[in-house]
Amino acid sequence: MLGLVIHLGGLLAATQGTPIGKGLVYGLAAIGPGIGIGILMGKSVEAMARQPEAAGMVRSIMFIGIGLIEALALFGFVLSFIIT
Amino acid sequence: MISGVLASAFERPTTKDFVWSCWFGKSPWCYNFIFFLLTIVIVVFVLMFWFAFRQPKIVPGKYQYLVESGLEFVRQQVVLSMIGPEGLPFFALLATFFFFILLGNMLEITPFVMFPLNSRIAFPIVLAIISWVTYNVVGVRRHGAFGYLKLVMFPPGAPAWMYVLLAPIEFISVILVRPLTLSVRLFANMVAGHFLLAVFFLGSIALFTGIPYILGAVSFAMGMVLVGFELFVAVLQAFIFSVLSASYIAGAVATEH
């Protein structure tokens, strides 16, 4: 894990100022939210399948969760335009 | 290979696509394309409700029913499900958020406009500041200044030693980060959507002039699919903005159990 972090740090340093570095910022920012939305959607589908009568409530809360998680990836997206 | 396919130059969309020059007036206070879009949104917003409720009938016509079901959706899904009956005073504010953001986002997929109003950060920031002021003022009026700070910084149900960590984190997240995420979420979604559509449609223009025309057709078809996706995103972002504002207000009016 530590090796991976050091490797990524070296990669970011080597690609500093290039378009590849900008792309990496968004790509790295999308890893965590991707996992998070995957878990969120999986659990929501599970909950809706178990309790179909609660589907409406689960769906509206699911969209709120998607909105909250999605913001993290979008920060990376905005940051990739800000950095030079 | 690629330069052979791309006979005409592919114009890469950049952040400069979001900057428009003045139509008339001087630089900081001028009327440009974005202000024109704002004018369109306000006129459509006013006319939409004016035509629906000019002569309201007990048995609504088709158009009145359409607008009423939109308002009913906000009332049920946003106000009553997030805040409850004591949120009804905020119904007008949240419905305004929903319909203003929805109309502003819809401009992204309107033919001959194709530019989302909310991709300029000024509009999401002002909306987020209105939401921020509302939930803080409501909380202070309900609990008093100290009571509201205590409610924000010391959420009940955590062990006592955790509050050393929890209190500053909660303060920063409620007071500082919430308006930032609220505005950046809407803004970045619209910017990303505009870039996606621009890449596929500009790409199809470039590919249609190349040798294998079929690639242009594929790119154009993908662009049309993304128009549908952006319709979904436009409605979803309007819904999420109003729902999150409602949930912040609900957190401010909450009483300790």
Write the CA distances from A38 to A59, A64, A66, B88, B189, integer angstroms.
Answer: 15, 14, 10, 34, 19
| Structural domains in chain A, sorted by start | 2-82 (1.20.20.10)
pLDDT < 70 positions in chain A: 1, 16-17, 84
Put simply, the answer to whether A67 touches B192 (Cβ < 8 Å) is: no
Q: What is the CA radius of gyration of chain A?
A: 17
The string over B209-245, giving b where at least 16 C-beta atoms fall within 10 Å of a residue's C-beta and e elsewhere, is ebeeeebbeebbeebeebbeebeebbebbbbbbbbbb
Enter the pTM of the model.
0.87
Q: Minimal Cα distance from B81: which residue of A?
A: A57
The number of beta carbons lying within 10 Å of the beta carbon of residue B201 is 19
Whether complex ipTM tops 0.90: no
Q: Minimal Cα distance from B185: which residue of A?
A: A71
Separation CA A57–CA B237 (nearest Å):
18
pLDDT < 70 positions in chain B: 1-9, 210-212, 256-257
Pairing of strands B31-32, B22-24: antiparallel
Q: Minimal Cα distance from A79: which residue of B?
A: B188
| Contact predicate A82/A25, CB 8 Å | no
Residue from B189, B199, B229, B241 whose CB has the most chain A CBs within 10 Å, to mutate:
B189
Separation CA A56–CA B154 (nearest Å):
32
Partners of residue B188 in chain A, C-beta under 8 Å: 71, 74-75, 77-78
Put simply, the answer to whether A64 touches B184 (Cβ < 8 Å) is: no
Write the CA distances from B63 to B47, B52, B69, B82, B138, integer angstroms.
Answer: 12, 6, 10, 28, 35
Q: How many CA atoms lie within 13 A of B39 on its CB side?
A: 6
Angstroms from A8 CA to nearest CA on chain B: 25
In what helix (H) or strand (E) does residue B117 lie, and over which residues does it extend? none
Separation CA B132–CA B17 (nearest Å):
30
pLDDT computed for residue B256 by the predictor: 59
pLDDT computed for residue B240 by the predictor: 92
DSSP characters over B139-154: HHHHH-HHHHHHHHHS
Separation CA B191–CA B121 (nearest Å):
10
Q: CB distance from B183 to chain A under 8 Å?
A: no
Helices B122-143 and B145-153 cross at an angle (nearest 10°) of 110
pLDDT computed for residue B153 by the predictor: 87
Q: CB distance from B247 to chain A under 8 Å?
A: yes
Angstroms from A73 CA to nearest CA on chain B: 9
Helices B91-106 and B33-53 cross at an angle (nearest 10°) of 130
The number of beta carbons lying within 10 Å of the beta carbon of residue B248 is 22
Q: How many CB pairs under 8 A join A and B?
A: 42
Q: Which residues contact B122 (CB under 8 A, 6 or more apart)?
A: none
Angstroms from B51 CA to nearest CA on chain A: 30
The number of beta carbons lying within 10 Å of the beta carbon of residue B100 is 21
**Average pLDDT over chain A, rounded to an integer:** 85
